[in-house]
Amino acid sequence: MYERFMKRAIELAKKGLGRVNPNPPVGAVVVKEGRIISEGFHPYFGGPHAERVAIESAKRKGEDLTGTTLVVTLEPCDHHGKTPPCTDLIIESGIKKVVIGMRDPNPVSGSGVEKLKKHGIEVVEGVLEEEVKKLCEFFITYVTENRPFIALKYASTLDGKIADAEGNSKWITQDLRHKAHEMRNVYSAVLVGARTVLKDDPRLTCRLKGGRNPTRVILDRRGILSGGSYRVFEDNARVIVFTENKEAKYPVHVEKVLNDCSVGGILKVLYEKGVDSVLVEGGSEVLGEFLEYADVVFAFYSTKVFGEGLDVFSGYRSSVSDPPRFRIVRSEHTDTELFLEMRPCSRG
Amino acid sequence: MYERFMKRAIELAKKGLGRVNPNPPVGAVVVKEGRIISEGFHPYFGGPHAERVAIESAKRKGEDLTGTTLVVTLEPCDHHGKTPPCTDLIIESGIKKVVIGMRDPNPVSGSGVEKLKKHGIEVVEGVLEEEVKKLCEFFITYVTENRPFIALKYASTLDGKIADAEGNSKWITQDLRHKAHEMRNVYSAVLVGARTVLKDDPRLTCRLKGGRNPTRVILDRRGILSGGSYRVFEDNARVIVFTENKEAKYPVHVEKVLNDCSVGGILKVLYEKGVDSVLVEGGSEVLGEFLEYADVVFAFYSTKVFGEGLDVFSGYRSSVSDPPRFRIVRSEHTDTELFLEMRPCSRG
């Protein structure tokens, strides 16, 4: 019976995607006599929580909250973080029932559910839980595995090439390019290798109207970008460069990380820097390095054939007996392009 | 108003797929007072035509055909081939209206439509014409372009590999394998290169219940299969071997063709031998050779990644500026496999 309210709360939560990281996106609605009387969502990192926004909005309208139901995607927090605990606010408001999608997986959040129950508030749990988990997957991975959520994105021909025999690669796919920008609008960071920067000089920004730019993470093991001027170094977004080269020099606003440049080493630093999600965009060798770490793979295929050319996962090697396997969770196509969203078949 | 009858005629015609080649599959129904009173289809090469089967079936039931309508996928023939002209039979029967999907594209068939009209029979043309053209695509290509219709079939990983770095390749896809056998049941011939025979020793038969085996066409340019014993040489189906090697020896029932082994040279001979359709199944170099001749591509993807390995179109080379392009006309997937049917974007 709470599904339709939870659906609305999820919709609201999504407005915070890409803005609240490494917090989870959260949405909430206050329901009175079967009708939504106010709504709220967590708008940006450090901003007010969804519950507070919804409750205060109702109060501003002069609504009496006594006996109402609060439907919120995530268990309300019971700790003093950047904002006071939502539990206290709920208890004071007169709300008599709280419906949540999932418990807060973050060990530091405290148990909001227990606190509410102790104060005589009925709590209904697990409404549209799978959808809420999907919504919060960056956050769940970040706080339970202490690493960013990892997506791989590639655009290849039917025969798995990301460049032709001459090394030309731009605009392999076009119709579905907007999806790539939607991803950049939501992922906290985009990661590419130094050779991609040298070759394509990409901006790695989000070109959607109203979009926000992700942090750019560059893997420049040997420091080949040292001293150079590239679009990814422009100061319209945060830049983090990983290198093994002590001498490497980058513009002053670039965060240089001296590191072994292993996938594990990179993920550890990104976690510490508050990056909850990384979209690995290439090139070929970088995709190969991150393949076995991927939580999701976004594959764009253009219905072209290059034959000889650069492999999408060059340098990577598995065998027919035990290759990485994925399951297709979404597939869309136009006349000449195909998009697949895939998840690993088995993961610890 | 004739669509539903034509749909039934198309359904009937399909029962002859793979059995009537290089004739077209044809289906027919006799309609009396809005109701189908008899049905027929062309069952096998040299067998009775669909019109004859339907008309004789009605007569056997004691039906008076005067004033009835014949709905048939293809224009009735007006020539003496393996059977007498259908036009004469229709005219004698008392049928007053004939509804067809498309005109017979074969120049030798004569104009059935004109003959019928001359005898006062009303003719309605073009009902579900696109579907009928699709149904007859082998035949149309065969009689208008004097070559077989060409399909490419491959099964690859997400990264376009048909074998891993050790050369292992069997069973890349499994869930959708039945589709491959449905193709072998319909295409007149299956073509593979000699190295595929050496490596996998495939049967190239159709393992569907009630299926029929396609002609096996082997491209053995240098004669590496000479004197050998392979499953494709078993005498449960016709075998044609193309070779440049005069000395090459094959089992006695094998049709050896000494030829330049170019795609053009192969297609010419297959045409002359009455092969209206070829399913090119591999290996990698053969797929590359036939790619630009393909009328349709059937791609099976398994959601695995091999990284290093054998390319689906090895030895083939195009460029980013002008690669072969296809449009997706059908797409299906299971959790871990994807099937695409594609047609070339532009073809003369």
Query: With contact defined as beta carbons under 8 Å apart, do A149 and A138 qualify?
Result: yes
Interchain pair B314, A331: CB under 8 A:
no
Q: How far is B287 from chain A (nearest CA, A)?
A: 10
Residue A299: list chain B partners with CB under 8 A: 158
Which of A160, A306, A307 shows the shortest C-beta gap to B159? A160
Boundary-marking domain end, from B89, B115, B142: B142
CA distances from A100 to A4, A63, A83, A113, A120 (A): 13, 22, 20, 9, 16
Residue B311: in which H helix or E strand, if any? strand B309-311
Distance CA A181, CA A208 (A): 6
Nearest C-alpha in B relative to A333: B328
A–B interface: beta-carbon pairs under 8 A: 164
Q: Which of A3, A11, A33, A51 is catalytic?
A: A51
In chain A, the largest separation of any two C-alpha atoms, in whole Å, equals 70
| B286 shares its domain with B302 | yes
Note the Cα A216 to chain centre separation in Å.
Answer: 14
Query: Does the beta carbon of B344 lie under 8 angstroms from any beta carbon of chain A?
Result: no
Query: Does the beta carbon of B335 lie under 8 angstroms from any beta carbon of chain A?
Result: yes
Which of A288, A327, A334 shows the shortest C-beta gap to B336? A327
Residue B163: list chain A partners with CB under 8 A: 320
For chain A, positions 265-304, list CB contacts with chain B under 8 A: 288, 291, 299, 302-304
Q: What residues contact A145, with CB distance under 8 A and at least 6 apart?
A: none
Query: With contact defined as beta carbons under 8 Å apart, do B37 and B30 qualify?
Result: yes
Is A54 marked within a binding site? no
Boundary-marking domain end, from B78, B111, B142: B142
Sheet of strand A326-333: strand arrangement: A255-258, A239-243, A215-219, A189-193, A277-282, A149-157, A296-302, A337-344, A326-333
Q: Which residue has the tokens 């299926």?
A: B211
| B178 shares its domain with B34 | no
Does residue A107 have a cis bond before it (omega within 30 degrees)? no
Interchain pair A320, B164: CB under 8 A:
yes
Residue in A284, A303, A337, A341 to test binding to B, most B beta-carbons within 10 Å: A303
Query: With contact defined as beta carbons under 8 Å apart, do A65 and A55 qualify?
Result: yes
What integer pLDDT is reported at residue B347 of this predicted model? 44
The 10s digit of each residue's pLDDT in B81-127 is 777 899 999 999 999 999 999 999 998 777 899 999 999 999 999 99
Encoded amino acid at B167, one letter: G
Q: How far is B342 from chain A (nearest CA, A)?
A: 8
What integer pLDDT is reported at residue A320 of this predicted model? 67
CA distances from B116 to B51, B96, B128 (A): 13, 9, 21
What integer pLDDT is reported at residue A310 of this predicted model? 92
The 10s digit of each residue's pLDDT in B172-220 is 778 888 899 999 999 999 999 999 999 999 999 999 998 999 999 999 9
Is A200 marked within a binding site? yes
Distance CA A288, CA A283 (A): 9
A172 lies in which domain range?
147-344
| Whether pLDDT at B142 is above 80 | yes
Strand partners, B339: B300, B332
Distance from first CA to last CA of chain B, Å, rounded? 34
| B166 shares its domain with B229 | yes
| B83 shares its domain with B44 | yes
Average pLDDT of the residues of chain B = 94
Interchain pair B288, A307: CB under 8 A:
yes
DSSP label of B4: H
Q: How far is A305 from chain B (nearest CA, A)?
A: 6
DSSP label of A311: E
Interchain pair A327, B303: CB under 8 A:
yes
Nearest C-alpha in B relative to A311: B159
Encoded amino acid at B316, one letter: Y
The 10s digit of each residue's pLDDT in B65-81 is 999 999 999 999 998 87
- Other residues' Cβ atoms within 10 Å of the Cβ of residue B228: 15
Would you call A131 a catalytic residue per the annotation?
Answer: no
| A132 shares its domain with A152 | no
Distance from first CA to last CA of chain A, Å, rounded? 34
What integer pLDDT is reported at residue B321 of this predicted model? 76
Determine the 3-state secondary structure of B331 from DSSP: strand
ipTM: 0.88
Distance CA A175, CA A186 (A): 20
Query: With contact defined as beta carbons under 8 Å apart, do B135 and B73 qualify?
Result: yes
User: What's the domain count of chain A?
Assistant: 2
| A292 shares its domain with A152 | yes
What integer pLDDT is reported at residue A170 of this predicted model? 67
DSSP label of B190: E
DSSP sequence for B152-167: EEEEEETTSEEEETT-
Encoded amino acid at B345, one letter: C
Per-residue pLDDT for chain A (348 aa), expressed as one digit of tens each? 899 999 999 999 999 999 999 999 999 999 999 999 999 999 999 999 999 999 999 999 999 999 999 999 999 999 887 778 999 999 999 999 999 999 999 887 778 999 999 999 999 999 999 999 999 999 999 999 999 999 999 999 999 999 888 888 766 778 888 899 999 999 999 999 999 999 999 999 999 998 999 999 999 999 999 999 999 999 889 999 999 999 999 999 999 999 999 999 999 999 999 999 999 998 999 999 999 999 999 999 999 999 999 999 988 988 667 889 999 999 999 999 999 999 999 743
Is A171 marked within a binding site? yes
Query: With contact defined as beta carbons under 8 Å apart, do B269 and B147 qualify?
Result: no
| A323 shares its domain with A213 | yes
DSSP sequence for A221-244: TT-TTTT---GGGSTTS-EEEEES
Interchain pair A158, B160: CB under 8 A:
yes
Integer-rounded Cα Rg, in Å, for chain A is 22
Percent of chain B with pLDDT over 90: 85
Residue B169: list chain A partners with CB under 8 A: 320
Q: Which of B3, B33, B51, B337 is catalytic?
A: B51
Query: Does the beta carbon of B166 lie under 8 angstroms from any beta carbon of chain A?
Result: yes
What integer pLDDT is reported at residue B170 of this predicted model? 67
Cα atoms in the 13 Å half-sphere on the side-chain side of A347: 15
Q: What 3 state SS string does B330-341 have?
A: EEEECCCEEEEE
| A295 shares its domain with A271 | yes
Interchain pair A305, B318: CB under 8 A:
yes
Query: Does the beta carbon of A345 lie under 8 angstroms from any beta carbon of chain B?
Result: yes
| B161 shares its domain with B281 | yes
| B73 shares its domain with B162 | no
Residue A327: list chain B partners with CB under 8 A: 303, 335-336
Query: With contact defined as beta carbons under 8 Å apart, do A217 and A270 qualify?
Result: yes
Query: With contact defined as beta carbons under 8 Å apart, do A40 and A28 qualify?
Result: yes
Positive or negative, the Cα torsion across A6, A11, A16, A18? Answer: positive
Query: Would you tell me the crossing angle of helices B86-93 and B50-60 to the nearest 10 degrees?
Result: 30
| A237 shares its domain with A329 | yes
Supply the CATH number for residue B127's domain.
3.40.140.10
The 10s digit of each residue's pLDDT in A91-113 is 999 999 999 999 999 887 778 99
Does residue A22 have a cis bond before it (omega within 30 degrees)? yes
Strands, DSSP E only, in A55-187?
A: 69-74, 97-102, 122-124, 149-157, 161-164
Q: Which residue has the tokens 């002053």?
A: A252
Supply the CATH number for residue A263's domain.
3.40.430.10
- Compute the residue count for chain A: 348
For chain A, positions 100-159, list CB contacts with chain B under 8 A: 156-159
Query: With contact defined as beta carbons under 8 Å apart, do B223 and B242 qualify?
Result: no
Distance CA B248, CA B224 (A): 8
Q: Which residue has the tokens 């039934």?
A: B8
The 10s digit of each residue's pLDDT in A170-214 is 667 788 888 999 999 999 999 999 999 999 999 999 999 989 999
Distance CA A17, CA A14 (A): 5
Nearest C-alpha in B relative to A306: B318
Boundary-marking domain end, from A142, A157, A188: A142
Instruction: Flag whether the pTM goes above 0.80.
Output: yes
In the numeric block, which tokens belong to residue A340?
């697949």
Interchain pair B156, A161: CB under 8 A:
no
| B293 shares its domain with B157 | yes
Determine the 3-state secondary structure of B138 from DSSP: helix
Residue B299's nearest CA partner among B332, B324, B251, B336 is B332
Strands, DSSP E only, in chain A?
A: 27-32, 35-41, 69-74, 97-102, 122-124, 149-157, 161-164, 189-193, 215-219, 239-243, 255-258, 277-282, 296-302, 309-311, 326-333, 337-344
Interchain pair B319, A161: CB under 8 A:
no
CA distances from A268 to A21, A145, A214, B74, B148 (A): 17, 11, 18, 68, 59
Cα atoms in the 13 Å half-sphere on the side-chain side of B140: 15
Residue B20's nearest CA partner among B1, B38, B47 is B47
Nearest C-alpha in A relative to B319: A164
